[in-house]
Amino acid sequence: MLRAVAFDLWETLLTDTPEVAARQERLRLHSIESILTSRGYLHTALQIEHAHGALEASRTMNLGVGLISNTGRTPGGVLREVLSAHGLSSLIDVMVFSNEHGECKPRRSIFDKLCEGLGAEHAEAVFVGDSLYADVHGAHAAGMRAILFKPESRGQAVAPEFDHGLEIVPDATIHTLADLPRVLGEMKQ
For the segment 6-30, what is each residue's pLDDT rounded down to a tens digit?
Answer: 999 888 887 766 666 556 555 543 4
Q: Which of 25-39, 69-83, 103-117, 168-182 has the lowest mean pLDDT?
A: 25-39
| Range in 37-41, 45-49, 59-63 with the lowest mean pLDDT | 45-49
3-state secondary structure of 168: coil
C-alpha–C-alpha distance, residues 149 and 172, integer Å: 9
Confidence band of 137 (pLDDT split at 50, 70, 90): very high
Please tell me the distance from the alpha carbon of residue 128 to that of residue 115, in angstroms, as a whole number: 14
Provide mean pLDDT across the span 87-103: 95
- pLDDT range class, residue 4, cuts 50, 70, 90: very high
Contact between residue 36 and residue 78 where contact means Cβ atoms under 8 Å apart: yes
Q: Where are the beta strands (DSSP E) in 61-178?
A: 64-69, 94-97, 125-129, 145-149, 172-174
pLDDT at 117: 97
Q: Is the peptide bond before 18 cis (omega within 30 degrees of 0)?
A: no
As a whole number, the mean pLDDT across the chain is: 84
Is pLDDT above 90 for 74?
Answer: no
Q: For residues 114 and 3, is the Cβ–Cβ distance under 8 A?
A: no
